[in-house]
Amino acid sequence: MTTDSQGSGVDAATKREHPSILDAAQRNRAYPMGAERHFWSRGRCRIVRDKLPALASGQVVLDLGCGPGGMVEHLRADGIDCVGCDLARYEYAAEAALPHLHYETDAFELPADLKRNIHTVLLLDVLEHMEAPAPFIQRCVLEFPALEYVLVTMPARQELWSHFDDYYDHQLRYDEQSTRTLCGESGLEILDLGYWFHGLYGAVALSKWFGRERGVGVKPVTLHWAHDWLGYLFYLEEKLLPSRLPGSTIYALARVSRDP
């Protein structure tokens, strides 16, 4: 069993039952202290905020597989009632988000009063770990009776596959067709679909062409201002460039289709 400093281990049986959970080594490499200030996280938070549908009073956004809570912190600072849930416990978490994070918790075992108010589910870089993600989305629809929207993001474009994907136990890098197939099988109606981080696509593709292996760890953030600006540039990129242009991340905003 692999364990971290807070005693949250992941054994083989747990990994099989919950393939999206990261073990301690993966968590520490992907989310060092201050990871929420990394340019990729900063850019993604801004983009996700713009993609969210309008929320009424009492409606909750659930970041399922929230990691250290950077998205929860960002959305709550913007006045959105967002809570996070993760099967693991993280050695480092965004301080402002901590009261709203449910660690070592299965999302389907959240308190009933909370589950009744979940309006939108964020599945941000979660589904690529699952061999069959459609049943998981279908269960979300069943377990959260007020659920109307699902926003998913996943690593994009199989031609970018690298040691990074192997290390984090990815099953697939998605494209438009595979994302449409997944949403269709899950009973979701796609409202918006496209790619983010177009510049990173070019950088990763070029690096792969030169035979350079992609690293699996994220370096701790030191120059906060530089990461803030770079994150904002990726946010502007999403605004200005066509969403059909390949990027390193694919997203889909979808509406839940329920039988009458």
Strand 82-86 versus strand 60-64 pairing type: parallel
- What digits encode the pLDDT tens for the residues 227-257? 999 999 999 999 999 999 999 999 999 999 8
**Domain ranges (residues) in the chain:** 12-256
| Alpha-carbon dihedral sign for residues 216, 11, 66, 249 | positive
12-256 homologous superfamily: Vaccinia Virus protein VP39 (3.40.50.150)
- What three-state secondary structure class fits 10? strand
- Whether 111 shows a pLDDT value over 90: the answer reads yes
Cβ count within 10 A of residue 177: 8
Q: Which range among 6-10, 162-166, 211-215 shows the weakest confidence by mean pLDDT?
A: 6-10
- pLDDT, position 31: 86
Q: Which range among 19-23, 163-167, 173-177, 185-189 shows the weakest confidence by mean pLDDT?
A: 19-23
- Whether 5 shows a pLDDT value over 60: the answer reads no
DSSP assignments along 38-78, one per residue: SHHHHHHHHHHHHHSPP--TT-EEEEET-TTSHHHHHHHHT
Strand 188-196 versus strand 249-256 pairing type: antiparallel
- What three-state secondary structure class fits 4? coil
- pLDDT, position 15: 63
Contact 179, 154 (CB under 8 A): yes
> For residue 63, what are the β-bridge partners?
84, 122
- pLDDT, position 6: 39
- pLDDT, position 237: 96
Q: Which range among 66-75, 165-174, 216-225 shows the weakest confidence by mean pLDDT?
A: 216-225
- pLDDT, position 87: 93
- pLDDT, position 64: 98
Global confidence as pTM: 0.91
- What digits encode the pLDDT tens for the residues 140-165? 999 999 999 999 999 999 999 999 99
More confident residue, 105 or 258: 105
- Whether 12 shows a pLDDT value over 80: the answer reads no
47 vs 246: CA distance, rounded Å: 16
- pLDDT, position 1: 26
- pLDDT, position 3: 32
24 vs 190: CA distance, rounded Å: 34
- pLDDT, position 203: 93
- pLDDT, position 219: 84
- pLDDT, position 198: 97
- pLDDT, position 13: 59
- pLDDT, position 21: 80
Residues 6+ apart with CB under 8 A from 29: 216, 217, 218
Contact 253, 51 (CB under 8 A): yes
